[in-house]
Amino acid sequence: TDCEHLREQCINAANGCEGVWNVMEDVCNISVLGNRCKAEDAVGCNRIIQVLADEYPVFKNCVCTTDGFCSITTLLEKQCSINKDNVSMEAKLQWNLSALSKANRTCLDVNKECVEDEVCNKQLSLYLKVCSVNKKCNIKECQAAIRFFYQNMPSEVAQTMTFCDCIQPDESCHRAKELLHGKSCAVTAVPTPSCLNVIHMCEENELCRKKYKTFLSKCWRHVTKKCYDDEACLETLIKDDIPCSANTDCKVAYISTWGTMLRVECTCHNLPSLEQSLCKLFHHMLHSKSCFSELLAYMHFIELSSYFLTFSSQNIVTDNCLTFACHS
């Protein structure tokens, strides 16, 4: 069939599709005979299928898109549907068992709790399988895995992970932060692109462009209200005069940009002077911490309190070869 042909093209392509497909097979367990329409993790299966279809639109005709919960039909030999309410309830009940949803933590604490938590560890292991620092980085595959990782959890859990931070001396925490935030593969590109190139590349990708527009409308309303995407108008704006909403919708929109070009570290060095102001504006909107300064300040207070409490009690926790994930 056409969908089987698309599968073969995906596996043989050198554009990152194979990595997303392999993650989908792991999550949906579609390679097990007799179990083609019964995924062990139905919630995760439907989410990764959506990631596949969003990243590689040729698969959209092979996917049931009703209410956003679907399964690939021809490839699974028959249509498998899941009730949306049941899926939402299942996800909520699963993540309510996770310690990650209960309080703010340092990145090291978040990492350790995720490893020790059955629900979180299962998702983290899939993400690490694609973005492992021990193999050559494929940025597209890793970005797709990060999108799946953060989209497959409740908003409050995603916020705990994305806004976690570290006190300066804690090297173990900084390594955990780099892992959770995909810095080693999905965030750091060589050479570092200009922020103008990042925006332009994002606008050429349907999925990234959609997330970028949502991010602007939810977090930087002043920019969209005054200029929308008119670069000539944007050049007249001064970053210090641009307020960021930083509300709940903004946080959700910000987290949705993870696993896209928008999270890649960018620079304005070596650009012509005429392009500097626009580049710096883009850098400010994409990477400035000012938008969530109050939340980050609170997180930093929690981290410092925990650090000094631990230090004063002389109960120093040693780093026993920081465990990043436990594969079941």
Residue type, 4: E
pLDDT of residue 168: 72
pLDDT of residue 68: 37
Mean pLDDT confidence for 163-183: 87
Residue with tokens 């570092």: 192
Does the pLDDT at position 87 exceed 60? Answer: no
Query: How long is the chain?
Result: 328
pLDDT digits (tens, 9 = 90+) for 91-143: 556 666 666 655 567 899 899 988 888 888 888 888 888 887 666 788 888 88
Q: What is the dihedral of CA 175, 250, 295, 237, to 10 degrees?
A: 100
Mean pLDDT across the chain, nearest whole number? 74
Beta strands in 99-205, from DSSP E residues, in sequence order: none
Residue with tokens 């949705």: 256
Model confidence at 203, pLDDT cuts 50, 70, 90, reads: very high
pLDDT of residue 33: 45
Does the pLDDT at position 174 exceed 60? Answer: yes
The token duo for 136 is 């050559």
pLDDT digits (tens, 9 = 90+) for 24-74: 777 776 544 444 455 556 667 777 777 788 888 888 777 654 433 344 444
Cβ-based neighbour number of residue 190 at 10 Å: 6
pLDDT digits (tens, 9 = 90+) for 227-253: 766 777 877 776 666 778 878 899 999
